Amino acid sequence: MKLEVVVLAAGKGTRMRSALPKVLHLVAGKPMLSHVLESAQKLSPDHIHVVCGHGADQVREYFSHDLTINWIFQAEQMGTGHAVCQALPDISTQSTVLVLYGDIPLILPGTLQRLTDEARDGSLALLSASFDNPHGYGRVVRDPDNAICAIVEEADASSDQRKISEINTGFIAAPAEKLKDWLDAVDNNNSQGEYYLTDIVGAAACSGTPVKGVICEDILEVMGVNSRSDLAKAERNFQRREAEKLMDAGLTLDDPSRFDLRGQLEFGEDCRMDINVVVSGTVKMGKNVFVGPNSQISDSEIGDNVEIRANSIIEGAYIADHCSVGPFARLRPGTELATGARIGNFVETKNAVIGEDSKANHLAYVGDASVGQRVNIGAGVITCNYDGANKHQTKIENDAFIGSNTALVAPLTVGEGATVGAGSAVSRDVPAGQLAVTRAQQTVKDGWERPQKNKTSKGESSQ
């Protein structure tokens, strides 16, 4: 039987107080809707339909790269039942339909699989959970035999029903054909004047279709996001879950509550992250990598035995084995450090290949450059790569020594083993093995004396 997923995402999210559609708000650097779609995709459904309404253009634009989504536009939000109805014409009758919400981002594929499996025999399956504070949720009503007979919304519930702690998460799985029949019969005679998807539960129970409750033990998976406060909770819950997974896989996190993953992290044995490290995009690390506090790493690959010291920012870089970076270093996209290279404090690199055992230990800018092996780049060296219109390359060959406070005006080659004297502005190629110095010659004035203060008699003012 086919599997069709319907994700409801048309609501406004009034309580977010935001111009951004609710499902585009980020959890771990990704829109909530992305998380839901990723979990759904793990079930290999035949189709995924997303019902959008408020901010539909923005939502579709964000996901425009994903051509597998079938977008359904719900012009007016008349309730969850009405929202699912909009998708029905695109759904095969010979399928199981799984309904998800775009604002419940932490749901796991395993839970969705359990729910879907329960509906394969033609039953209606709904995901429920037990909440200490069920306020605001639809309550699952069971008969004396413990069979589910209805879901009643908070607004329509009696005071006894409000005491029920088993809540409807909103996620259901049902056979498409029956779902169509049940939805046809749903009306909006309730306190909110909406077409409730939840009314199909009563309809199914009346028609003799088994209604199966699948209980979600981890309530964090089914927490909805309606406010900024909920969003912050979802973020922390997500991060705690990821941190646990990483630690189980062998990563040392000095404080798991002060580590944020906004992408994918692969790592070898004995890697350690100090506090406040943020990893985003795709990051791969070899063995025995240490990342110091307050560092950010995104879309980078790091080899074995590397030390990233405090407050470093690494983006789109490749760092080979035995390198040392930071503290306070900034490696920008296109940086490649070969084995044993060292980039120290307040050094910025961009589109720069730094050869084996070369170092720029303090206060330098190395951009659009290729640096050979065993090169020393002194403090305050700058590759002047931009002439105001175009970028140019600097090439520094093996064993060159660039003295402190040198401006290398590109395009430029400093030959193998060449030396540039401190304080030079070099704009012509330096031949291999030669010394280039462009600073003004020092003069020493014989007999020069430092000016002295005029001597004035006591009480006289000095001008």
Kindly list the catalytic residues.
Answer: 362
- In the window 143-182, what residues touch ligand UD1 (CB under 6 A)? 151, 153, 167-170
| Residues 279, 265 contacting (CB under 8 angstroms) | yes
80 contacts which partner out of ligand UD1, Mg ion, none, CB within 5 to 8 A by kind?
ligand UD1
Closest distance to Mg ion from the beta carbon of 193 (Å): 17
Distance CA 347, CA 362 (A): 6
Question: Which range binds ligand UD1 by CB under 6 A, 192-200, 246-254, 260-268, 333-341?
Answer: 192-200
Do the Cβ atoms of 262 and 243 come closer than 8 Å?
A: no
Among Mg ion, ligand UD1, none, residue 11 binds (CB under 5-8 Å by kind): ligand UD1
Strands 401-402 and 26-27: unpaired
| C-beta of residue 199 within 8 angstroms of C-beta of residue 191 | no
How many angstroms separate the first and last alpha carbons of the chain? 100
Q: Do residues 154 and 147 touch, judged by C-beta distance below 8 A?
A: no
Q: By CB under 6 A, is residue 198 in contact with ligand UD1? A: yes
Residues engaged in binding Mg ion (CB under 5 A): 224
Cβ neighbours for 141, distance < 8 A, ≥ 6 positions apart? 148, 149, 150, 151, 152, 161, 164
Q: Nearest approach, Cβ of 188 to Mg ion (angstroms)?
A: 18
CA–CA distance, 31 with 20 (Å, rounded to integer) = 11
Beta bridge partners of 401: 376, 419
Choose between 79 and 326: whose C-beta lies nearer to Mg ion. 79
Question: Nearest to ligand UD1 by Cβ — which residue?
Answer: 138
- Choosing from 41, 70, 77, 252, the residue that interacts with ligand UD1 (CB under 6 A) is 77
Task: Indicate which single residue of 3, 5, 6, 8 sits in contact with ligand UD1 (rule: CB under 6 A).
Answer: 8
Cβ distance 213 to 162 under 8 Å?
Answer: no
* Min dist. Cβ of residue 364 to ligand UD1 (A): 51
CB of 155 to ligand UD1, least distance (A): 8
Does residue 80 bind ligand UD1 (CB under 6 A)? yes
Residue 344 in contact with ligand UD1, rule: CB under 6 A = no
Q: Residue 58 or 345: which CB sits closer to ligand UD1?
A: 58
Q: Is 78 in the site for ligand UD1 (CB under 6 A)?
A: yes
Options 72-80, 322-330, 339-347, 438-446: segment touching ligand UD1 (CB under 6 A)? 72-80
Structure token digits, residue 65: 């790269």
Taking the C-alpha atoms of residue 105 and residue 395, their distance in angstroms, rounded to an integer, is: 49
> Among residues 102 and 403, whose Cβ is nearest to Mg ion?
102
Of 342, 352, 453, 348, nearest to 410 (Cα)?
352
Question: Considering the rule CB under 6 A, would residue 295 count as an interface residue with ligand UD1?
Answer: no
In the bound complex, what is the minimum distance in angstroms from residue 26's beta carbon to ligand UD1?
A: 16
User: Residue 3 or residue 100: which is nearer to ligand UD1 going by CB?
Assistant: 100
425: region left, alpha or beta (phi > 0 left; psi from -120 to 50 alpha): beta
CB of 153 to ligand UD1, least distance (A): 6
Give kind and range of the element (H or E) at residue 203. Answer: helix 199-206
**Binding-site partner at residue 45 among ligand UD1, Mg ion, none, CB < 5 to 8 Å by type:** none
3-state helix, strand, coil in the chain (%, to 5): 20, 35, 45
345 interface partner picked from Mg ion, ligand UD1, none, CB below 5 to 8 A per type = none
**The entry of ligand UD1, Mg ion, none that residue 78 binds, CB within 5 to 8 Å by partner kind:** ligand UD1
Pair of tokens at residue 73: 């536009």
- Measure CA 393 to chain center: 33
> H or E segment at 396?
strand 394-396
Q: Considering the complex, state which of residue 13 and residue 175 has its C-beta at the smaller distance from Mg ion.
A: 13
DSSP conformation letters of 123-147: -EEEEEEE-SS-TTSPEEEE-TTS-
Q: Which of 196, 238, 267, 365 binds ligand UD1 (CB under 6 A)?
A: 196
List of residues contacting ligand UD1 (CB under 6 A): 8-11, 51, 74, 77-80, 82-83, 101-103, 137-138, 151, 153, 167-170, 196-198, 224
